[in-house]
Chain A
C-alpha cells in the first residue's frame, strides 16, 4: 500500500491517517460531498457553501483514521504540496451538467501522474449532481462520460488500458453519495475481509437476511455480508440511522440522562458497559421484517435485517451473538490502532 511512504510531513497527532484526495473543477460539488457526508449538512444547505479557497484537510475517525483533502478547483499537481503517492485514493468530481472536455483532461493529468507513481492507488470518478436530470437522460450522460474518459485515456497511450477506474453516479439529494463513498472506503480498509467474514458468520448464526456495519455519524457502511446490497435496503438503513441519531438529543434530560451511563447503586454488581440498541418493526404481523441496531464501538454500529418472528423468538441468541461480534470488531480495531500509532 502507498501509505507506507509517509514520513516527511506527519500530522501533529501520531496516528498515520489514510489520505483521500478530493478533486474537481470549481463548483463541481467537492465541498458539498464532504460536508454532507461528514458534517451532517442538510443537502439543501450546500447551495450556500462558500467556494473553497485553499486546500482544507478534514480528519475523520471511523474504522480507519481518514484525512480528506478538499481542494479548490484550481489545484494542480504542483500546487498540491504533497506527492500523489501519499494518497491512497483520489476522487475526481465531475458536474454532470458541465462541459466535459476540461474536467476530463484535468482528471486524466492527475490520474496518469498518480498511476505512474503508485499503480495501486484507487482512482474514483464521481459524476455528480445527478439530480439535475431525469432518470434516462442521467444514465445516458453517465455512460457518455465513462466512454469519453476511456477513449481519451487510450488516445494518450494504450498502456493505460489497465488503469483501474471506478465510476459512480452521485447526488447529495439521495443516498448515492453515501453508497459511492462507502465503496471508496471499502478499498482503503485492510481488515475488510475479516470484517466481512465475521458478518457472514453472524448472519448465518442469527438467521439474519442482511447485516451492515455502519459508521454511525457519517452513515457510510464499512462492511457488509456476502449477500448482494440492494439499494432500497441500504437507503432504509441509512434513514434509520439518521432517525436514531436525531432522536438521541431530542429527549435528552439534563438531569437524568447523565446518570444513565454511570448509575448503578454501590451495592449492585458493576454493570457491563452500556451499548445502545434499537429495533424497528416493519409490518404489524410476525411475517414482517425487523431492522435491528446495535452499537459495536463508539463509531460503528451493526444493522441487521431479520424476520420479526426470529427477532422475537431468538432475541437472546441475537444479543449473545452481538457480544461476540463486538469483541471481534474491537480486537480488529485495536490491531489497526496499534499499527497506525506505531506501538507494534
Chain B
C-alpha cells in the first residue's frame, strides 16, 4: 500500500514486494518543509510482540497518526483484534492526542455486498476501540478508495488547510471556476479544495470585466477572463433555487480520489516511456480543465464549466497565483 501512494508503483506490481522486516522508517518530504516520518511496521507476530513489549515506548512515542490496517477477510480476526487493543492502549498512554485511522484493506476480495460487510466491520472495530475516536475506511489498491482514505489522513496533518481552502475559493472565483483542487505533487493526494461557489446560478456572478484585464485579489494580480458581461437571459429560467446550499452541479462524489488515481496512472504511463508528466489541459464536452504545477510541490486542477473561458486564461491565472501560494504554503508549514 505504501509503495502505491508514495512510490508511484502500479497495483499490479505489489505482489513483488517483500515482507516488511521490523520497522521500516521512511522520510517522505510532503509539501516542501513538512516531512512525514512514516514508520512502516512489519506485521508478523514476533515483530508485533516486540513492539508491544521492549520497543513499546519507542514505537508509540510522539505519534501523530496511527494507521492500522486490517485485512477484511482475515483468517484470525480475534488475534488481530487483541493486537489492536494492545496497540490502542499503548497509544493512549504515550501519545494520547494521536489520530487513529483504521483501514479495512483488500476490499476487492469481498464477494457480494461490500457495503454491508464494511459496515459490519466498522461497528465491530468501533466497539473494540472503546472511547478512542477512530475513523474507518474500506480500501483496496485496485481502485480509488485508497486515495480517499489517505487524502483524509493527510488532511488532518496539514496545519492550515482551511486557509488554503479560503484562498483557493478566491482563486476559483477569479477564474470563474466551478472548483479548484490542490494536490500534493508526488502522491497526488488532495490537500485542499475550494469551497463550493455560493452560486444561485450555474455560473459564478458575472463581472463587467473584459478578458485580459486584471483585478487585484489576495495581493496577487489575477487576470480575470470572463467573456459574458451579463447573464444570458435564458439561463435564469433553468436555475434551480438553492435548496441544498446551491449545489446545482451535483458533481460526482468520488471525483477527488478518482482524479488522484487517474493522474497517478497517467504519470506512470509517462514514466514507462521515460517521459515526465508535467501539465494537462482539456476542453471536453462536459467541462474545461487545466492541471498544472502550482508550487514546487503542489499541483492545481481548475474545473470550469463556462464554455467561454479559455485554457490559456486559466494558465495565466495559475502563473500569477504561484507566488502567493508559495508564500502561503511556507507559512502554513513553517508554523
A associates with B: yes
Q: Which of A243, A248, A289 contacts B286 (CB 8 A)?
A: A248
User: What size tier do the contact residues of chain B reach?
Assistant: 35 or more
Q: Within the assembled complex, what's the spacing in Å between the Cα atoms of A64 and B132?
A: 62
Q: CB-defined interface of A263-291 with B at 8 Å, one 1/0 digit per residue? A: 10110000000101111111110001100
Could you tell me if B270 and A251 are in contact, using CB atoms closer than 8 angstroms? no
Asked if B273 contacts A252 (CB within 8 A), the reply is no
List residues of chain A with CB within 8 A of the CB of B238. 255, 259
B208 at the interface (CB under 8 A from A): no
Residues on B with beta carbons closer than 8 Å to the beta carbon of A82: none
User: Is there an interface contact between B276 and A244, defined as CB atoms closer than 8 Å?
Assistant: no
> B17-30: contact bitstring with A at CB < 8 Å (1 yes, 0 no)?
00000000000000
Docked-complex contact A278 and B284, CB < 8 angstroms? yes
Interchain CA distance A276-B289 in the complex, whole Å: 11
A253 at the interface (CB under 8 A from B): yes
User: B259 — nearest CB in chain A belongs to which residue?
Assistant: A250
Known: A235-B272, A256-B306, A283-B276. A251 touches B285 (CB 8 A): no
Q: Is A254 part of the binding interface, using a Cβ–Cβ cutoff of 8 Å?
A: yes
A250 vs B255: C-alpha distance when bound (angstroms)? 6
Task: Say whether A280 contacts B277, CB under 8 Å.
Answer: yes
Chain A nearest CB, measured from B259 CB (Å): 7
A282 lies within 8 A of B266 (CB)? no
| Cβ contact of B252, chosen from A244, A250, A280, cutoff 8 A | A250
B250/A44 in contact, CB under 8 A = no
Size of interface on A: residues with Cβ below 8 Å to B: 41
- Set of chain A residues within 8 Å of B142, measured between Cβ atoms: 44
Cβ of B305 to closest chain A Cβ, rounded Å: 4
Of A252, A259, A261, the residue contacting B235 (CB under 8 A) is A259
Q: Say if the beta carbon of A9 comes within 8 Å of chain B.
A: no
Report B245-282 residues with CB < 8 Å from chain A CB. Answer: 248-252, 255, 258-259, 262-263, 265-266, 269-270, 272-273, 275-282
**Closest beta carbon of chain A to B34's beta carbon, Å:** 23
Say whether A251 contacts B278, CB under 8 Å.
Answer: no
B248 contacts A278, C-beta separation under 8 Å: no
| CB of B289, distance to nearest CB on chain A (Å) | 7
Contacts of A259 in B (CB 8 A): 202, 235, 238, 305, 307
Interface mask (B296-335 → A, CB under 8 Å = 1, otherwise 0): 0000000101110000000000000000000000000000
Contact A278:B283 (CB < 8 A) given known A246-B262, A259-B202: yes
Residues of A close to B252: CB separation below 8 A:
249-252
Does A74 sit within 8 A of B, measured CB to CB?
Answer: no
CB-defined contacts of B255 to chain A, threshold 8 Å: 250-251
Among A246, A251, A274, A281, contact of B289 (Cβ-Cβ < 8 Å): A251
Verify B275–A257 contact, CB threshold 8 A.
no
B130 at the interface (CB under 8 A from A): no
Residues of B within 8 A of A246 (CB): 258, 262
Contact yes or no, A253 B275, CB < 8 A? no
Q: Please, how many angstroms separate the alpha-carbon atoms of A251 and B179 in the complex?
A: 9
B307 touches A260 (CB 8 A): yes
Chain A CB within 10 Å, residue with most, of B178, B272, B280: B280
Interface flag for B12 (CB, 8 Å): yes
A115 within 8 A of B: no
Q: Please give, as numbers and ranges, the residues of chain B lying within 8 Å of A173 by CB-CB distance.
A: 12
Chain A neighbourhood of B303, CB < 8 A: 251
A81 interface residue, CB < 8 Å from B?
Answer: no
A284 adjacent to B278 (CB under 8 Å): yes
Q: Is A97 an interface residue (CB 8 A)?
A: no
Contact residues in A for B250 (Cβ distance below 8 Å) = 253-255
Taking the complex as formed, is A240 at the interface, i.e. its CB lies under 8 A from any CB of chain B? yes
Contacts of A282 in B (CB 8 A): 270, 275-278
Query: Is B15 close to A, CB under 8 A?
Result: no
Whether B232 sits at the interface, judged by CB under 8 Å, is: yes
15 A/B residue pairs, CB under 8 Å, sorted by A: A239-B269, A240-B266, A247-B284, A250-B255, A251-B289, A253-B178, A253-B305, A254-B250, A255-B238, A255-B239, A255-B248, A256-B305, A261-B285, A276-B283, A282-B270
**Chain A residues within CB distance 8 Å of chain B:** 44, 173, 232-233, 235-236, 239-240, 242-244, 246-257, 259-261, 263, 265-266, 274, 276-284, 288-289
Report, nearest first, the 5 A-B pairs whose CB atoms are least far apart. A256-B305, A239-B269, A253-B249, A232-B273, A256-B202
